[in-house]
Structure 1
């Protein structure tokens, strides 16, 4: 069984209206090329690094204009669309948002969501700091979406550095892992491809990584280089730039099971005592 997928690489603007105008034509282009499942990047609905500007501009998932615009395209075209992530408000009112992946079925209904589990919080020797958790409430559950196309395991950007999450997704039956991202340029150049290939090899899974790319209105620089990796670690398709565009790939889904049979690491792992 072959699955034709489309990955959307964007340079998302700083407002919802501009973001929808940017991503919608690319999604339609992928569908026009036969995509049965379309994945967009992290922060598909807005990129704004100034939290004082970002947080007041966000809406609930139900009211987000970019998500609703993509739901309309899914229903119009009968296509599965995975919004790699939308930054949305949360109902508990603690002031932080959610970085949320949203899977939309061909009827335009939201059938699954996943909130990014791992927050990038760091104090660098240079004195620079980053506190993703100051703006976003992390999720607390892994998510596998069982569709008529395949079982998809959801993760977002920094999650790719945590092998245990992707192992859990594979053990739960996922054969395709979605890893939408807005990877920084220095870490992207150093780690992007090797981490994604490692997650594919470790789990015997396809990995789809749709990315933000280039320099955004808010001054942020992202790596681009969207990529699809096969379960043997082979690169199936890849963009070699950071410009907006569409990456198409055909996934031979049974090859994931063949890879897992050849190297049964998921089954061979054993518990062990700590050092």
Structure 2
């Protein structure tokens, strides 16, 4: 039986006095999840933005000025997560970071393996705030990460950052690359935004008959325009079939309550659903793509007066 214990963070944004305070917080969070047996730890989208608190106050609301200034902390950010993943032998999807790329910036989720090595997945679809106010560029490239499991097996997973989860194409490419798990770090200011990401993630789990792990940012941070308010709850979604939950929710935390949601993913259940479920979304994906033709407009007559 292939089981992976995952930890999804409902992670709160704090104002830090110095780097040491930030380092202590992240170190404690990772130690907590690892101590509870978590092997794959997921932090939310833009969790790294609490580092804005270490910038000069005049940059806290300066969207253009904060982006280059944050690059100064990136080497230490990478080193910290690399050391923690290696120390605890865990895989960490770090809170995404606005990283300088070419002449602009991308929203990058760094993925740290148990040996401390790191790779990344950039966000592909920008929200209006990112595109129109913060000028964050779409990333390029899609990656499937392979995590060794006990018994010589492996799990492949992919990352869909927040808005990315609302579009089927990315998750489908990841699933075609062997992904059995979709990791969804998110930053949503209102319940409506959280609902969009939640529904998108559940739809991607249904379409591809895979698990989706949703890790939201929690914030009351009016000290920076880049964050302000963020809300949500950590959750794990699954296709509603056979021995998986009937409502498609494998686990979930409390609303706006910081902490780890730690749960076991039985990969045997989703593999069985793909092979012999009541419905076979994964098997039927090609037919669903090929059978629809261009829509024909059919005018309907107005009601006849009597």
Question: Corresponding residue for 1:126?
Answer: none
Q: 1:20, 1:132 → 2: CA distance? A: 32
Asked if 1:27 is matched to 2:30, the reply is yes
Q: After the TM superposition, which of the residue ranges 77-86 and 186-195 deviates more from structure 2? A: 186-195
Separation of aligned partners in 2, 1:53 and 1:206: 38
Q: Hey, what's the Cα distance between the residues in 1 that align with 2:268 and 2:41? A: 20
Counterpart selection for 2:198 from 187, 190, 193? 193
> How far does residue 190 in structure 1 lie from its aligned partner after superposition?
3.9
Deviations 1:177-224 (A, max 9, x none): 000011121423543433222221111111011110131242611112
Question: Which residue in the other structure is 1:114 paired with?
Answer: 121
Indicate the residue corresponding to 1:36 in structure 2.
39
The number of aligned residues is: 263
1:211-262 superposed Cα distances (whole Å, 9 cap, x missing partner): 1013124261111201111233621221112232111010001212112222
Q: Which runs of 4+ in 1 moved over 6 A?
A: none
Q: Which residue of 2 aligns with 1:254?
A: 268
* Higher-Rg member (1/2): 2
| Aligned residues: CA RMSD | 2.4
Residue 300 of structure 2 is matched in structure 1 by none
Q: Which runs of 5+ in 1 are unaligned?
A: 122-128
Deviation of 1:171 (Å):
1.7
In structure 2, distance between residues paired with 1:207 and 1:176: 6
Residue of structure 2 in register with 1:82 after alignment: 93
List per-residue Cα deviations over 1:29-68 (Å, max 9, x = no partner).
000101111111111222456413421322279x432232
Match of 2:57 in 1: none
1:171 aligns with 2:176: yes
Unaligned runs of 5+ in 2: 53-60, 150-154, 241-246, 296-306
TM-score (norm 2): 0.78
In 2 relative to 1, CA 191–252 (structure 1 residues): closer, same or farther, beyond 3 Å?
same
1:68 and 2:75 correspond? no
SS state at 1:10 partner:
strand
Distance 1:259 1:113, change over 3 A: same
Aligned residues of 1:119 and 1:133 also touching (Cα < 8 A): no
Q: 1:230 to 1:84 in 2, by over 3 A?
A: farther
1:274 aligned partner: 294
The 1-side partners of 2:80 and 2:28 are apart by 11
Cross-structure match for 1:147: 147
